[in-house]
Amino acid sequence: MNIVDLRSDTVTRPSPEMRRAIAEAEVGDDVLGDDPTVLRLQERVAAMFEKPAALFVPSGSMANQVAIRAATEPGDEIICDVTTHSYNYEAGGPAALAGCSMAFIPGPRGIFAAADVAACLRPRNSHFPQSKMVIVENTNNRGGGSIWPLERVADIQKIAAEQRLHLHMDGARLMNACVAARRKPSDYTRLVDSVSMCFSKGLGAPIGSILAGSKPFVERAHRFRKMFGGGMRQVGILAAAAIYALDHNVERLAEDHRHAQQLAEAIAALPGLRLDPRDVETNIVIFEIEPRLGTAEQFVGRLRERGVWMFATGPTKVRAVTHLDVSGEQISRAIEAFRELCHG
């Protein structure tokens, strides 16, 4: 069966050309600081983000957790949206690895305002945890790939600076936001103290993320990367895949966004499914299942029988993610499977 795999953009496989770049990569020992391909990637991303330094790490979770540990001390508090990936999907890392508590904002589709941050600030008093960090996730995964308006980030940057808060952008899918919003990465990253980005999602690399910020911050992050087990040796083979992704797989994200919109519009027109296509800004489509079609898990199971794979993300919610390994023809087949289930 020809599977239409819409579970996540993490399922992308390296192309033959990317594999060739991997095979031909010049390597050294990154723990000793002399892998030339890693150094080239770090310098390139630091320049692209207009940051003094960058650090290559194995995963997006490690990038976020290293950033949290580097910006905080145990007992500090982090302000973020209730949907934030670094709280929900990173194995309790802020508590286990940094000893931090979280103050949550229920923002619409993961997007909040400077006034929300102000409302969460703790008094500077020995009775309370200290507000130390704000995290914005761009695009927001559980918000359906929602894009942060640049003005919102700028407003939050102002209050973060006033209150001496470290502002971190979880930019796992930052390039999706930039392509859809027609922004340069630095339009966003110049407003934050640190930023992480994944190469292993829509950009199509098999492994790897990057963390960027000031030189002192990245030096401190380097120590925690080692502490958390993220030091790697001849990792230029993976950095080469990331460089290939930056060279070839950024602008093509617009195709994934078109496929997501096509899928969203078809789903919105079907009985028993609820979705506003205007909420689909990038490559993530989240929709609701009405009771007559069963639970989300049951619906996903019936789709799977037809060769279309997605994830249930709640009792009535399903998520589909478009990516470079899904063609227009496969999107059409997925839509036909939806029609069979809703009209059957």
The confidence band for 343, taking pLDDT boundaries of 50, 70 and 90, is confident
**pLDDT one-digit tens code per residue, 324-335:** 999 999 999 999
d(CA 144, CA 126): 39
E strand spans, the chain: 4-5, 53-57, 76-81, 101-105, 130-137, 166-170, 194-198, 209-213, 273-274, 284-289, 308-309, 311-312, 317-321
- At 148 the pLDDT is 98
Q: What's the token pair of residue 155?
A: 């407003």
Residue spans of the domains in the chain: they are 14-248, 252-343
Distance of CA 141 to the CA centre of its chain: 7
Domain 14-248 is found in CATH 3.40.640.10? yes
- Which CATH code for domain 252-343? 3.90.1150.10
Task: Report the percentage of the chain scoring pLDDT > 70.
Answer: 99
In DSSP terms, which residues pair with 319 in a beta bridge?
A: 286, 311
d(CA 276, CA 292): 20
Q: What's the token pair of residue 10?
A: 């993490």
- At 2 the pLDDT is 86
The confidence band for 1, taking pLDDT boundaries of 50, 70 and 90, is low
Q: Give the closest residue to 225 by CA, choosing from 24, 42, 15, 48.
A: 42
**pLDDT one-digit tens code per residue, 95-126:** 999 999 999 999 999 999 999 999 999 998 89
In DSSP terms, which residues pair with 308 in a beta bridge?
A: 4
Q: Please give the radius of gyration of the chain, using alpha carbons only, rounded to the nearest integer.
A: 20
Residue 278 has pLDDT above 80, yes or no: yes
**pLDDT one-digit tens code per residue, 251-263:** 999 999 999 999 9
Residues 27-54 have a mean pLDDT of: 97
Per-residue burial over 142-177, b = 16 or more CB atoms within 10 Å of its CB, e = otherwise: bbbbbbbeeebbebbbebbeebebbbbbbbbbbbbb
